[in-house]
Amino acid sequence: MGYVVGVIILSAVQAIATTGLALFTGFTGQFSLGHAAFMAIGAYTAAILTHFYGVSFLLAILAGAIFAAASSLVIGVPTLKAKLRSDYFAIATLGFGEAVRVLLENLDITQGARGLPGIARLTDLPVALVALAITAWLARDYVRSRYGWRAVAVREDAIAAEMIGVNVFRTKLTSLACSAALCGVAGALMAHYLMFIQPAMFTGVQSTALITAVVAGGIGSLTGPILAAAVFVMLPEFLRLANMWRLVIYGLMLILIMIFRPAGLMGYREFSLKPVLHLWQRFSGRGRTSAS
Amino acid sequence: MLLELKQVAKTFGGIKAVDGFDMAVEDHEIVGLIGPNGAGKTTVFNLITSVYKPDSGSIYFAGEPIHRLPPHEVVGKGIARTFQNIRLFNNLSVLENVKLALHNVPSYGFLSAMLGLPSMRRQNQSVVKKAMEFLDLMGLSDRAEMRAGGLPYGLSRRLEIARALALSPKLLLLDEPAAGMNPDEIVGLRELIAGVHRDFNLTIILIEHRMDLVMAICPRLVVLNFGTKLTEGTQQEVQTNPAVLQAYLGGDYANVAG
């Protein structure tokens, strides 16, 4: 039971970080290969605050989010101001991710590559699920607000966006800071569930897992990436029965998604129960007519 | 004087796309900007909207210098444009294309947006209503939910104009709006441009190769060739100017005429 709960908590944490990246990649159209760094910054900030300074969990999470958002400006301002094209920008974020990891490995307060053990376990199932719900709610509001409209305009056509008066630089930077803040929250939650963090947890592999979930879940969708993130955490766990084949199945699944749903599972759409209800009503309606 | 370009120059590599270009546009005028292909007409639009910064010279809008402002601020001053190769938000619906252009209309801040306060929902709804009014005006309201990329050519031109009008500009720059249209569609476009010019109290600069459209709505013309102003004046003056005839019809024409 503890194992299943653990998988669900880690799925929720991953879903929060993925939602963050979905704002930046799925709604603003910018690719990042370094968002694990923001999880790391959130995780270390929160863990250090609760562990060494006895700060309350909620405040520590908020501090992790704010610190992650602030650090996103360090990479965001110079690269976005220079208008780096998408692939160059992705490489810059890759470098940023590595730089943060190396920094964490060499700072005293983070205890270097050995990692930070003995963090209090403060994240349980309700905390993780409530955090995910709040994240989804905030992200939805962001997307529906005029800030989200501007982001979508930039994603669709940056020049046309400028010509409807959108400040492209500021819009990208706002999206980046919001996405970094959510990744910071995810990192803080993760640290207080695993009770141990080390820089090696936040490598390019984790960044890739985030971007994979966003793209497979669907560009321009929130529910798609959330579902994909949860599936990608759970699937390898359940596939442990298949042992060495599980990574093959995982890879095959990604290839099939890209072939049959190139815009992602839920590209430009949101998951809704309406079609399901509609289908059910039709079937039950047909059942009644045939009965009468 | 609404818009004034003074000795504006822009080079790309070794090519002088626009050189020592002067142009003045009065309030509520419709000016035609014509010239052979590659004369630098679109570059002039890109300079006015600050997509390109001029190498030298200055641009004034309503008395204010605008050539150092970033593009979104130039748009904010009241200049809107359409593109020669249509630039719609293709993956979004027709309605969303206009809605996005109204992003500066709501007054809610970031915090009330994130909290999803009722004021945000109310203001968003009124923006959608306003967007529908622009679609109505352009005869696009029955296609509001359609993907913009799936619109037929003539209608996507109209949607681009609707999106530009949603910015409530003082000056509208139209870059070859009639390109690819058949004669019937051009008649519709002519009435549309004349209509919005009147109803929105607009000043319009029109780049166009279709002379039937230009002659029908532009009392005054500016002729560009190789980045410099060949001449400007009334239709009559331009049509009889030998330099214009030579630019359009080639050097031999001058010999034939002479």
ipTM of the complex: 0.90
Q: Is A80 helix (H, G, I), strand (E, B) or coil?
A: helix
Q: What confidence tens digit (pLDDT) does each residue in A29-40 have?
A: 999 999 999 999
Task: Using CA coordinates, name the residue in chain B closest to A145.
Answer: B113
The tokens describing B107, both together, are 């007054």
Helices (H), A82-157: 86-106, 125-144, 146-156
For residue A234, what pLDDT is reported?
Answer: 87
Q: CA-to-CA distance for B49 and B221, rounded, in angstroms?
A: 20
Interface of B with A (CB under 8 A): 49, 51, 70-72, 75-76, 80-81, 83, 87-92, 96, 99-101, 103-104, 106, 108, 110, 113-116, 120, 124, 163, 166-167
For residue A286, what pLDDT is reported?
Answer: 54
Q: What is the pTM of this model?
A: 0.89
Q: Which of A27, A146, A170, A174 to mutate to test the interface with B (most CBs of B within 10 A)?
A: A146
- CATH tag, A2-291: 1.10.3470
Q: What percent of chain B has pLDDT over 90?
A: 78
Q: What percent of chain A has pLDDT over 90?
A: 70
Q: Is pLDDT of A202 > 60?
A: yes
Residue A184 near residue A42, CB atoms below 8 Å: yes
Report the candidate in B253, B250, B251 with the shortest Cα–Cα distance to residue B36: B250
Residue A148 Rama label (left phi>0; alpha psi -120 to 50; beta): alpha
In which residue are the tokens 């968003």 written?
Answer: B124
For residue B100, what pLDDT is reported?
Answer: 96
Residue B144 near residue B95, CB atoms below 8 Å: yes
A138 contacts on B by Cβ (under 8 Å): 114
The tokens describing B74, both together, are 């130039």
Torsion of CA A140, A142, A146, A148, to 10 degrees: -90
**H or E, element range at B244:** helix B242-249
For residue B258, what pLDDT is reported?
Answer: 43
Residues spanned by the domain of B105: 90-150
The tokens describing A82, both together, are 């220079």
Residue A226 near residue A15, CB atoms below 8 Å: yes
Report the candidate in A32, A111, A118 with the shortest Cα–Cα distance to residue A68: A32
Residue A167 near residue A67, CB atoms below 8 Å: no
Please report how many Cα atoms fall inside a 13 Å half-sphere around the Cα of residue B70, on the Cβ side: 12
Q: How far is residue A15 from each of residues A19, A188, A231, measured CA to CA in Å?
A: 6, 14, 10
Q: What confidence tens digit (pLDDT) does each residue in B157-192 have?
A: 999 999 999 999 999 999 999 988 888 889 999 999
- Is the same domain home to B54 and B108? no
- Is the same domain home to B175 and B248? yes
Q: CA-to-CA distance for A31 and A10, rounded, in angstroms?
A: 24
Q: CA-to-CA distance for A284 and B103, rounded, in angstroms?
A: 44
Q: Which of A80, A145, A150, A179 to mutate to test the interface with B (most CBs of B within 10 A)?
A: A145
Chain CA centroid to CA A65, Å? 13
Beta-carbon count within 10 A of A195 CB: 16
- How many domains are contained in chain B? 2
- Is the same domain home to B185 and B226? yes
In which residue are the tokens 């203001």 written?
Answer: B123
- Is the same domain home to B207 and B119? no
Q: CA-to-CA distance for B134 and A244, rounded, in angstroms?
A: 59
Report the candidate in A201, A26, A59, A241 with the shortest Cα–Cα distance to residue A116: A201
- Is the same domain home to B187 and B65? yes
- Is the same domain home to B94 and B75? no
The reply to whether residue B114 touches residue A141, judged by beta carbons under 8 angstroms, is yes
φ, ψ dihedrals at B28, nearest 5°: 70, 15
The reply to whether residue B113 touches residue A146, judged by beta carbons under 8 angstroms, is yes
What stretches of chain B adopt beta strand conformation (E)?
A: 3-12, 15-25, 30-34, 56-61, 64-65, 79-81, 171-175, 203-207, 220-225, 228-234
Q: What confidence tens digit (pLDDT) does each residue in A110-139 have?
A: 898 889 999 999 999 999 999 999 999 999
- Is the same domain home to B179 and B242? yes
Q: What confidence tens digit (pLDDT) does each residue in B215-252 have?
A: 999 999 999 999 999 899 999 898 888 888 888 777 66
Residue B14 lies in a domain: yes
Q: What confidence tens digit (pLDDT) does each residue in B37-95 have?
A: 889 999 999 999 999 999 999 999 999 999 999 999 999 999 999 999 999 999 999 99
* Domain segments of chain A as ranges: 2-291
**Strands A196-197 and A116-117, bridge-based pairing:** antiparallel
Shortest distance between the Cα of A138 and any Cα of chain B, in A, equals 6
Residue A28 near residue A175, CB atoms below 8 Å: yes
- Is the same domain home to B102 and B194? no
Q: CA-to-CA distance for B163 and A161, rounded, in angstroms?
A: 11
Residue B159 lies in a domain: no
- Is the same domain home to B13 and B84? yes
- Is the same domain home to B11 and B107? no
- Is the same domain home to B20 and B78? yes
CATH code for the domain of B172: 3.40.50.300
Task: Using CA coordinates, name the residue in chain A closest to B124.
Answer: A145
For residue A292, what pLDDT is reported?
Answer: 37
- Is the same domain home to B75 and B113? no
Residue A143 near residue B120, CB atoms below 8 Å: no
Residues in chain B: 258
The neighbouring-strand residues paired with B4 are B24, B60
Minimum-distance CB partner of A138 among B76, B92, B114: B114
Residue B96 lies in a domain: yes
Q: Is pLDDT of A290 > 50?
A: no
Helices (H), B56-182: 71-78, 94-101, 110-114, 118-137, 153-165
Chain CA centroid to CA B222, Å? 15
DSSP string, A188-223: HHHHHHHSEE-GGGGSHHHHHHHHHHHHHH-TT-SH
**Strands B15-25 and B3-12, bridge-based pairing:** antiparallel
A142 contacts on B by Cβ (under 8 Å): 113-114
Residue B160 lies in a domain: no
Chain CA centroid to CA A284, Å? 39
